Amino acid sequence: MRWTRFFSPTLKETPAEAEVKSHKLMLRAAMMRKVSAGVYSLLPLGLRVTRKVERIVREEMDRTGALEILMPVLSPAELWKESGRWAVYGKELMRVEDRHGRFFALGPTHEEVVTDIARGEVRSYRQLPMTLYQIQTKFRDEVRPRFGIVRAREFIMKDAYSFHATEESLEETYSKMYEAYTRIFKRCGLRFGAVTADSGAIGGDVTHEFMVFAETGESRVFACKCGYAATEERAEGGIEKRAADEEPLPLEKVSTPGMKTVEEVTAFLRKEPWRLLKTIIYNSDGEYVAVLMRGDREINEAKLAKVLGSSSLELAEPEEILKVSGGPLGFSGPVGLKGVRIIADRSVSDMVNMVTGANEADAHFVNVNLGRDFEPAEFHDLLQVAEGDTCMKCGEMLTSWRGIEVGQIFKLGTKYSTAMRAHFLDETGTERPFIMGCYGIGITRTVAAAIEQNSDDDGIFWPISIAPFEVHILPTNMSDPDLVATADEIYRGLLDRGVEVIMDDREERPGGKFKDADLIGVPIRITVGERGMKDGVVEIRLRETGKTTKVETAGAVDAALDMVRDLKKRYEV
Ligand code: ATP
Ligand code: MG
């Protein structure tokens, strides 16, 4: 490709709206342009990288035996009503109405559509297992589209769905997919971890997220040396017990005028924050629940939503708290709290002589004790884990890192097949719902994640496996006919050997061309310069390390070819 024939309107300035490296660089390198909030056009450079990621994903999906299909973006509301998700998916689901007043969803994911295919076509256990996948545009009306294509409203996803007669068969495909994902992200040159995660709105119990290590990532992972790793939503940890063997003291009501927060109350009463038992009232799908947590720790709302099975979980408003508990916000407590479900974090069972709100203004109880003064209906793990908590597997301290979720795999079980009556006949002729798995990869998000990991202040340094081009030829002076002829010769030589080359044939000053070369990040750059011409050499430079070598002009094609091969080997698995 000659730059003058290419469409690559790079930018010198960093666009103000971009917060993270990948977003800035994708705009500056002219990989994409914004159309609307969370909606982007991919320009040639961006599309070339995207297609490379897609190719790797396709090859690895095909290796697992999955079959590629293409489902429509538009899916009828009826299917979503059958699964129940028309009601529960909420505002993230983009809905459109046709001229006949019929509603459709713009697919955010395709469990409904693929389950409909399976129930229509697959009759017998003999046709199972079957895995179908597609690479397609998805729509999600994200509350906060941000970071460019990392969290977009329209993006490209690979989604696969497997159908099984038995749990063992699902397990087998799930492992194959785990393996395939590992191969995919290695081939894309990413440093990543697979962590156990929360299944969110998709459903199912077993799930892993593939996270690319990145400081700018929106997900936090808690991990242990023993190999345990889980997302913040899901992570479990042990916390130090406090005062468990103290003798219970008599219950007492004390005045705490205007003291509402944990800090205010405990400072006022001269107690440690962990003495306080926080009582937080939630509205879960219209029902009130009082949640108890030790004062120095936070409630993990993802865990809470899972325990309650809520599709909508919100903190109760002050008026609601007054109605439910009889007291104002900041003074809730479990003692005497009637007519509302009370659930407690499991650490509460170790608490003794607690401080709680008294469900009236300006009053707290001290020396509150479990069993004697109140009894929660249930104990659950509701703890928001923090660094330094202990690993439930080995007892070591947990640490944390941040990452970008690029893929997720789920064991769905029969959630969709049962709801949608998608059945097959087993060996005994009995009708059973399909056992299902589903497996997603954010293709465009993976491109951005690769940039987060492989870039510096000057621009991107692509892993060659997903680079838009493999070699960048940079003739420094387009008005020197000999120099241009040499550059052309190398260019054609490499093209003939199947190398993907871009040659910057613009009549620009070398400084600007070097800047653009660093920006778009092609792994190997060949500079054909005036000084080198005199000595019969060109300069070959690796973008990532900056390592430069001079080679004789006649050997430039072979030298570059060797480098391409060497670099490619790094991403083979
Ligand atoms: P997130 O938690 O980041 O919102 P998710 O868990 O809802 O993502 P999945 O339903 O697991 O996402 O979708 C599969 C993959 O699609 C994700 O792993 C991610 O790589 C990608 N993806 C999801 N939402 C977006 C988005 N808004 N923009 C770009 N890619 C996305
Ligand atoms: Mg996910």
Are 463 and 164 in contact by the 8 Å Cβ rule? The answer is no
Q: Using alpha carbons only, how large is the chain's radius of gyration in Å?
A: 29
Q: Is the minimum distance from the CB of 406 to ligand 1 under 6 angstroms?
A: yes
For ligand 1, the distance from its centroid to the CA atom of residue 30, given in whole angstroms, is 24
- Site to substitute for ligand 1 among 111, 408, 438, 444, most atoms within 8 A of C-beta: 408
Dihedral sign from CA coordinates of 316, 320, 326, 331 = positive
Q: Could you give phi then psi for residue 292, rounded to 5 degrees? A: -105, 130
The closest-lying atom of ligand 1 relative to the alpha carbon of residue 210 is 18
Ligand having the closest approach to the CA of 441: 1
Residue nearest to atom 1 of ligand 1 (CA): 405
Domain boundaries, the chain: 66-143+157-235+400-442, 252-380, 460-569
What is the rounded distance in angstroms from the CA atom of residue 504 to the CA atom of residue 496?
A: 18
Ligand 1 neighbour 445 (Cβ under 6 A): yes
Distance 160 CA to ligand 1 centre (A): 14
Q: Look at residue 403 in the predicted model and tell me its pLDDT.
A: 96
CB 296 near ligand 1, within 6 Å: no
Residue of minimum CA distance from atom 16 in ligand 1: 442
CA–centroid distance, residue 442 to ligand 1 (Å): 6
Q: Select from 3.30.930.10, 3.30.70.20, 3.40.980.10, 3.30.360.10 the CATH code of 66-143+157-235+400-442.
A: 3.30.930.10
Which positions ≥6 away from 173 have C-beta within 8 Å?
64, 129, 131, 162, 164, 437
**Overall pTM > 0.85:** yes
Q: Rounded distance, CA 506 to CA 184, Å? A: 36
What are 270's two structure tokens? 């001269």
Ramachandran region, residue 330 (left: φ > 0; alpha: ψ -120 to 50; beta: rest): left
Q: Does residue 442's CB lie within 6 angstroms of at least one atom of ligand 1?
A: yes
- The DSSP code for 247 is P
Tell me, using a 6 A CB cutoff, whether residue 423 lines ligand 1: no
Closest residue (by CA) to atom 23 of ligand 1?
442
- Cα of 410 to ligand 2 centre, how many Å? 9
The pair phi, psi for residue 502, each rounded to 5°, is -120, 135
- In CATH, the number for domain 252-380 is 3.90.960.10
Q: Which residues pair with 70 in a beta bridge?
A: none
- Residue 197 CA: nearest ligand 1 atom is 6
Residues 6+ apart with CB under 8 A from 279: 290, 291, 292, 332, 333, 334, 337, 356, 357
CATH of domain 460-569: 3.40.50.800
CA angle 545, 547, 553 (to 5 degrees): 140
499 vs 294: CA distance, rounded Å: 62
What does the block give as tokens for 517?
A: 């070369």
Q: State which of 142, 445, 447 you would mutate to test the pocket of ligand 1, scoring each by most atoms of that ligand within 8 A of its C-beta.
A: 445
Q: Which two tokens stand for residue 470?
A: 């493999």
Taking the centre of ligand 1 as the mean of its atom positions, its distance from the CA of residue 409, in whole angstroms, is 11
Per-residue pLDDT of the chain (573 residues; tens, 9 = 90+): 999 999 999 999 988 989 999 999 999 999 999 999 999 999 999 999 999 999 999 999 999 999 999 999 999 999 999 999 999 898 999 999 999 999 999 999 999 999 999 999 999 999 999 999 999 999 999 999 999 999 999 999 999 999 999 999 999 999 999 999 999 999 999 999 999 876 655 555 789 999 999 999 999 999 999 988 999 998 999 998 887 788 999 999 999 999 999 999 999 999 999 999 999 999 999 999 999 999 999 999 999 999 999 988 999 999 999 999 999 999 999 999 999 999 999 999 999 999 999 999 999 999 999 999 999 889 999 999 999 999 999 999 999 999 999 999 999 999 999 999 999 999 999 999 999 999 999 999 999 999 999 999 899 999 999 999 999 999 999 999 999 999 999 999 999 999 999 999 999 999 999 999 999 999 999 999 999 999 999 999 999 999 999 999 999 999 999 999 999 999 999
The pair of structure tokens assigned to 8 is 């690559």
**How many angstroms does the Cα of residue 36 sit away from the middle of ligand 2?**
24
Distance, CA of 193 to CA of 208 (rounded, Å):
10
- Indicate the helix (H) or strand (E) that contains 313: strand 313-315
Cα-to-centroid distance, 88 and ligand 1 (Å): 18
Per-residue confidence (pLDDT) for residue 377, from 0 to 100: 87
